[in-house]
């Protein structure tokens, strides 16, 4: 069984699986060593690790794909790539980038409906029709090469500056499902009740990015099948670094020296 077949089987089981997100080879190997069956890349984490803001237009696509390929090669478990909006304005480029994700060994990839990232606080969105054309292009390009490849279609509508509208989110996700997506995703959903409402409208699995106050057990109880963690692991790692460095002069400022993973533990994770 190849990785795309294994990844599809995870989606077809009637069981929840957690898919942490990696930004480099080391984080990917740690996720695998801790027993997770798959992982996603985090475009934000990859950008931050290279000194760019999330979705920065200044970051070269070659650097993004190079990071994704290094992550894929570092592990044996399925990897799905966060390709943002397909990293492209045209349908032809969307198709090309999804084929490339498959070629470098990804078992899946995601595409979102943001049209312009230049102002991260007020992103511009594709219309439903435009977004569906892009989901369809991604799905057809990938599935022509590998029918098991998982295309995740994502709406970032709830992350924008406009009104929280579950109706708009459901409308978009239903349309994306009809356009050929294998999994749907709407970061920013605020409650379990809203998650349940979205799931009732869909026949394909819903990926959930949990928010504070939710629990894995509760999400499992309501039938969620896939959970991802986005950039949260990266941000928590950097928060820890910031906390340590800002507190060095405190009486217990060097206590962190005995709390990290040991070199031997890390050597066991890496190759």
d(CA 131, CA 211): 25
Q: Is position 258 within any domain?
A: no
Q: Is position 185 within any domain?
A: yes
Q: What is the CATH number of the domain that holds 210?
A: 3.20.20.60
d(CA 7, CA 72): 13
- Residue 161: the pLDDT is 67
- Residue 249: the pLDDT is 96
- Residue 271: the pLDDT is 76
Q: Is position 127 within any domain?
A: yes
The domain of 171 spans 3-233
Region label for 243, one of left (φ > 0), alpha (ψ between -120 and 50) or beta (otherwise): alpha
Q: Is position 263 within any domain?
A: no
Q: Is position 261 within any domain?
A: no
Q: Is position 264 within any domain?
A: no
Q: Is position 57 within any domain?
A: yes
Of 16, 46, 20, nearest to 31 by C-alpha is: 20
**What tokens were used for 259?**
């709390």
pLDDT tens string for the chain (271 positions)? 899 999 999 999 989 999 999 999 999 999 999 999 999 999 999 999 999 999 888 899 999 999 999 999 999 999 999 999 999 999 999 999 999 999 999 999 999 999 987 776 677 899 999 999 999 999 999 999 999 999 999 999 998 767 889 999 999 999 999 999 999 999 999 999 999 999 999 999 999 999 999 999 999 999 999 999 999 999 999 999 999 999 999 999 999 999 999 999 999 999 7
Q: Is position 129 within any domain?
A: yes
Of 105, 112, 89, nearest to 28 by C-alpha is: 105
- Residue 170: the pLDDT is 98
Counting the structural domains of the chain, the total is 1
């Amino acid at each position: 069984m190849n990785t795309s077949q294994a990844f599809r089987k995870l989606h077809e089981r009637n069981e929840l699986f957690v898919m942490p997100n990696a930004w480099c080879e080391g984080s990917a190997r740690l996720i695998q060593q801790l027993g997770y069956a798959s992982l996603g890349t985090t475009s934000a984490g990859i950008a931050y690790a290279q000194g760019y803001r999330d979705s920065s237009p200044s970051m070269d696509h070659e650097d993004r794909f190079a990071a994704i390929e290094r992550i894929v090669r570092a592990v044996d478990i399925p990897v799905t790539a966060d390709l943002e909006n397909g990293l492209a304005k045209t349908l032809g480029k969307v198709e090309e980038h999804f084929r490339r994700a498959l070629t470098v060994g990804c078992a899946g990839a995601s595409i979102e409906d943001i049209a312009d990232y230049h102002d991260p606080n007020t992103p511009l969105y594709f219309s439903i029709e435009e977004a569906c054309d892009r989901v369809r292009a991604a799905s057809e390009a990938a599935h022509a090469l590998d029918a098991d490849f998982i295309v995740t279609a994502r709406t970032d509508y709830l992350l924008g500056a406009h009104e929280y509208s579950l109706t708009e989110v459901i409308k978009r996700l239903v349309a994306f499902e009809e356009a050929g997506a294998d999994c749907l995703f709407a970061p920013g959903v605020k409650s379990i009740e809203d998650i349940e409402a979205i799931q009732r409208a869909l026949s394909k699995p819903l990926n959930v990015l949990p928010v504070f106050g939710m629990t894995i057990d509760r999400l499992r109880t309501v039938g969620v099948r896939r959970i991802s963690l986005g950039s949260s692991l990266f941000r928590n790692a950097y928060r820890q670094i910031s906390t340590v460095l800002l507190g060095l002069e405190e009486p217990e400022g060097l206590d962190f020296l005995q709390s990290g993973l040991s070199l031997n533990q890390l050597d066991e994770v890496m190759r």
